[in-house]
Amino acid sequence: MKQYIADAFTDKVFSGNPAAVCVMESWLPDELMKKIAAENNLSETAFIVRENETYHIRWFTPGKEVDLCGHATLASAFVLANFYDSSAEAFDFTSLSGKLRVRKNGSLFEMDFPSRMPLSVSLTAEMCAPFTQQPAAAFLSRDLMLVFEKEQDIIRYQPDFQSIASIPDGMGLIITAPSEKYDFVSRAFFPKIKVNEDPVCGSAHCNLIPYWAKRLGKKTLIGHQVSPRGGIVYCEDAGDRVLISGKAALFSECEIHI
C-alpha cells in the first residue's frame, strides 16, 4: 500500500505539521489502521478511499480515531493533487464531521471546515495548574482553549504534559494570545490521545478563528502556531464555516508491506 508523508502549513520540509496519507482502494480493518497510525507515530495518519466523485477520509492518532483533523486533510488534498488528480480544482471529502471541501487557491489549499465557537467557562485550578502565568479566560468546545494576555506567554511556555493530561475538560488543550506581527498565536496539546504537542493544528482553528474574528472585529486573519516546528495558517470567518488555508511540502513516498 502506498503511503505519503507531507508537511502541512509550510512550503518546506522539517517545518509545519507532518501527516501520513494512505490512499486505498478499499477500507482496511479498523484495528489495522490503528496499528499503522501507531507505527507511524505522527500526530495524524489519514486514510482515504474514493467513493464516486468524493473521497471518504478518516483520521487516526497513535492513540485513537478522531472526528476532525485539519493538517492531515490539507496533506491529503496535496497528495491527491500531486499524485492522483492534478487537474482537479477542489476535493470533496466525507468524514465523521460531515462534508469537507478543500479548494486549490494558487499555491494554497483552502479547507472549508465547520466553525466551532467555544463557550466561555470558568477557570479552574486544574486548568491553571500547568502554568506559572495564569490564563485570562477559558473556553470549551471539543477542546479546552485558554486565552493569555501576551504573545510571549505562548512562545516561552514549557509544557508539562502530565499536568495537561490531568485537566478533565476537553480532548485537547489550545493556548492562544494576540500577536504583534500576526493576528494571533497559538499552540495545541493532545497528550490524552498520545500527541503531546500538535505542531500546527487545523482543527484547533475551528475554535480559534471564530473567537479571534469576533474579538478583533475582522473576517480574515493570519495565525502563527508557535510550536518548535511552527506554521502559518491563513484564516477566514464565514459564519457557520471557517476557511483554513496553507501550503504543504512532500517529505516521503513509500510502500507499506502488510
Which amino acid, 175?
I
Query: Among 203, 180, 189, which Cα is nearest to 161's?
Result: 189
Q: Spot the catalytic one: 25, 31, 39, 44.
A: 44
The CA distance from 186 to 203, in Å, is 12
Write b or e for each residue in 224-256: b if 16 or more Cβ atoms lie within 10 A of its Cβ, otherwise e. bbbbebbbbbbbbbeeebbbbbbbbbebeeeee
Query: Among 109, 75, 62, which Cα is nearest to 89's?
Result: 109
Q: Does the annotation mark 44 as catalytic?
A: yes
Instruction: Give catalytic residues, as residue numbers.
Output: 44
